[in-house]
Amino acid sequence: MYVEDHCQAIDFVFHDGKMGETYNIGGDNEVSNLELVHRICKILTQISAQYEEKKLKALIQFVPDRKGHDYRYAIDSRKIQKELGWRPLHNFEDALKKTIQFYIKKYNS
């Protein structure tokens, strides 16, 4: 989930949430870690000619799972959506692209 959406959700909870209640904040985007890495490789090649998707994917290394490893990450955010009317403003792909562009700019300066 995009950082601005997460901050906005916290603001909704702070101002409109019920004291003592728990609100899960999520973007309704469930992807595997491997799928996320593949999407990052694809976006990098789309925004910068210095990256080649095949070479980036060749850098992916698989390691043994650690104890308690999560195979999926899923958040049920229906409560915050229903009770507080909050929904993320950014779609997953656009948010991921903005995040990648931020880090490229930050570390290539």
pLDDT tens digits for range 61-86: 998 888 887 777 788 999 999 999 99
39 or 109, higher pLDDT: 39
CA distance 42 to 36: 10
2 Cβ contact partners less than 8 Å away, ≥ 6 residues apart: 27, 88, 89, 90, 95, 98, 99
Q: What is the mean pLDDT of the chain?
A: 92
CA distance 100 to 51: 13
Other CB atoms closer than 10 Å to residue 43's CB: what's the count?
A: 19
Per-domain boundaries in the chain: 1-27+75-109, 31-73
Tell me the whole-structure pTM to 2 decimals: 0.82
Angle between helices 33-47 and 92-107 (to 10 degrees): 60
pLDDT of residue 88: 95
pLDDT of residue 28: 87
CA atoms within 13 A on the CB side of 55: 6
Nearest to 86 by CA among 25, 42, 37: 25
Which residue is it, tokens 């080649």?
Answer: 52
